[in-house]
């Protein structure tokens, strides 16, 4: 347990800068959309866009979670619930629950609680199941299958969390801009790191924590060096 907590702390510190970059992109998208739709239609557009980014977020999260777990366990059946549950719960928390609670704390009025798993479950269950299968497949063809999906996961999560405010809240959300940045940062950092790395390795032996720490620390640089070393 101590190794798992240390690993989670490392992940939070390691991913904070990139997460903030993703948050600025997501919030910047919110500001740009608000400025572009001065004549109305913003809420409908944001609603449609959210229901694209949220399932995509679910897909990428499931890919990474399943890949990390299956890479070390090689247990197909056990990977299915880990990938599906490990993406649905954190993604719903990241895209919906944390933005909603954060909006209430900021005093945002008319913010609706819209849980996609209950309203249209197919937009959640299908991407989660498909992503889990893709994650298992990637383990067979890539050295570090979780690195690239995780990076895309952070960017998409930032967009989805930001879009939630204008899709299910007032059009005047920009007045809460500074608070919005903090909420989206927490909404992305905590669930994404937990679902992609911490959640799957909690079910694995302790030495895996050390192995994944090395992978994340060395990152894509070591991956590319290893790849070149073994090219014919």
Distances (CA, A) of 169 to 38, 55, 177, 179, 204: 16, 20, 13, 15, 40
Pick the residue with more confidence: 62 or 174? 62
Distances (CA, A) of 31 to 26, 48, 82, 179: 9, 17, 36, 14
Give the lowest-confidence range in 25-39, 69-83, 149-163, 200-214.
200-214
Q: Is the pTM of this model over 0.75?
A: yes
Q: In the chain, where are the structural domains located?
A: 2-37+48-229
The per-residue pLDDT for 122 is 95
Range ranked top by mean pLDDT from 16-25, 180-189, 207-216: 180-189
Q: Which of 190, 204, 180, 209 is nearest to 26 (CA)?
A: 180
Can you tell me the distance from the alpha carbon of 187 to that of 165, in angstroms, rounded to the nearest whole number?
12
The per-residue pLDDT for 38 is 72
CB of 41 within 8 A of CB of 162?
Answer: no
Average pLDDT, stretch 142-150?
60
């Amino acid at each position: 347990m101590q190794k798992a907590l240390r690993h989670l702390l490392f992940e939070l510190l390691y991913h904070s800068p990139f997460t903030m970059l993703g948050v600025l992109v997501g919030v910047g998208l919110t500001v740009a959309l608000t400025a572009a739709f001065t004549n109305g239609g913003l809420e409908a557009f944001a609603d449609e866009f959210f229901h694209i980014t949220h399932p995509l977020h679910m897909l990428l999260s499931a890919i990474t979670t399943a890949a990390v777990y299956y890479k070390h366990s090689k247990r197909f059946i056990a990977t299915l619930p880990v990938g599906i549950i490990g993406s649905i719960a954190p993604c719903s928390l990241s895209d919906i629950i944390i933005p909603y609670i954060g909006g209430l704390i900021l005093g945002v009025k008319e913010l609706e609680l819209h849980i996609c798993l209950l309203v249209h479950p197919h937009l959640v269950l299908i991407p989660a199941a498909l992503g889990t299968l893709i994650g298992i497949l990637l383990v067979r063809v890539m050295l570090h299958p979780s690195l690239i999906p995780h990076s895309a996961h952070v960017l998409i999560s930032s967009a989805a969390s930001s879009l939630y405010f204008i899709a299910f809240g007032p059009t005047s959300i920009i007045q809460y801009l500074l608070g919005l940045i903090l909420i989206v940062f927490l909404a992305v950092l905590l669930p994404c790191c937990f679902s992609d790395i911490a959640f799957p390795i909690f079910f694995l032996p302790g030495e895996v924590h050390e192995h994944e720490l090395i992978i994340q620390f060395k990152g894509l640089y070591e991956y590319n060096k290893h790849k070149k070393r073994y090219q014919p």
